[in-house]
Structure formats: structure tokens, C-alpha cells
């Protein structure tokens, strides 16, 4: 379960994927059909989402030393091919 900054709750679903640096098929995401995840360190991974062989999202996710914060940062394909850069921080309550 997730909670957005405005207090609304949502859900996150999907199947776990291996963090082996290989592309794996995913479902449930209309913008991507494969994900590649590679562990970079004890608390950091790099990920790439692709659709029909084209990269649509690439970034990193890191868990804080105390395990209470998860940060995502990267870039994704936006409308009309524009790049969208993002940095999201999730706090564990």
C-alpha cells in the first residue's frame, strides 16, 4: 500500500523480478513490457524499463541506512518524446 503526499492511498502490484541485470517481461504497465534490474550496492539498484526494445524509463532506487526512506531518481519518456526527470522520496511511517 502506498500513500501519496496528498494523503490518498493507492496500491502497488506486480510480480517480483530478479535483480540479475537481465531483461524480464512484465505485465500491468501500459508503458513498458520489460524491466532490467541490477544491484549496485547493498541498498541501491539500477533499473531500466523498455517497450518494444526502446528505453522508456531509466533510473536508480536507494534505501536509506536506517531503512525508513526509499528514493527513486531517473528519467522517463514523456509526451511527444520529451524527457522527464524525476526524484521521488518515500518515507516509511
Asked if residue 8 belongs to a domain, the reply is: no
Is residue 21 assigned to a domain?
yes
- The answer on pLDDT for 13 being more than 90 is no
More confident residue, 20 or 31: 20
More confident residue, 46 or 2: 46
68 inside domain: yes
Among 2, 47, 59, 58, smallest CA distance to 23 is for 47
Within-domain flag for 20: yes
- List the domain range (segments joined by +) for residue 77: 15-91
Counted domains in the chain: 1
What confidence score (pLDDT) does residue 1 get?
46
Q: Report yes or no on 48 lying in a domain.
A: yes
44-51 and 20-25 as β-strands: parallel, antiparallel, unpaired?
Answer: unpaired
In this predicted structure, the answer to whether residue 20 has a pLDDT above a threshold of 60 is yes
Strand partners for 69? 91
Q: How far is CA 50 from the centre of its chain?
A: 12
pTM of the model: 0.77
Amino acid at each position: 500500500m502506498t500513500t501519496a503526499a496528498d494523503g490518498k492511498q493507492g496500491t502497488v502490484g506486480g510480480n517480483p523480478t530478479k535483480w540479475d541485470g537481465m531483461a524480464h517481461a512484465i505485465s500491468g504497465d501500459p508503458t513498458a513490457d520489460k524491466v532490467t534490474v541490477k544491484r549496485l550496492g547493498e541498498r541501491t539498484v539500477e533499473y531500466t524499463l523498455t517497450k518494444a526494445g526502446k528505453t522508456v524509463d531509466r533510473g536508480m532506487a536507494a534505501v536509506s541506512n536506517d531503512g525508513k526512506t526509499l528514493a527513486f531518481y531517473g528519467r522517463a519518456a514523456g509526451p511527444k518524446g520529451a524527457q522527464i526527470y524525476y526524484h521521488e522520496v518515500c518515507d516509511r511511517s
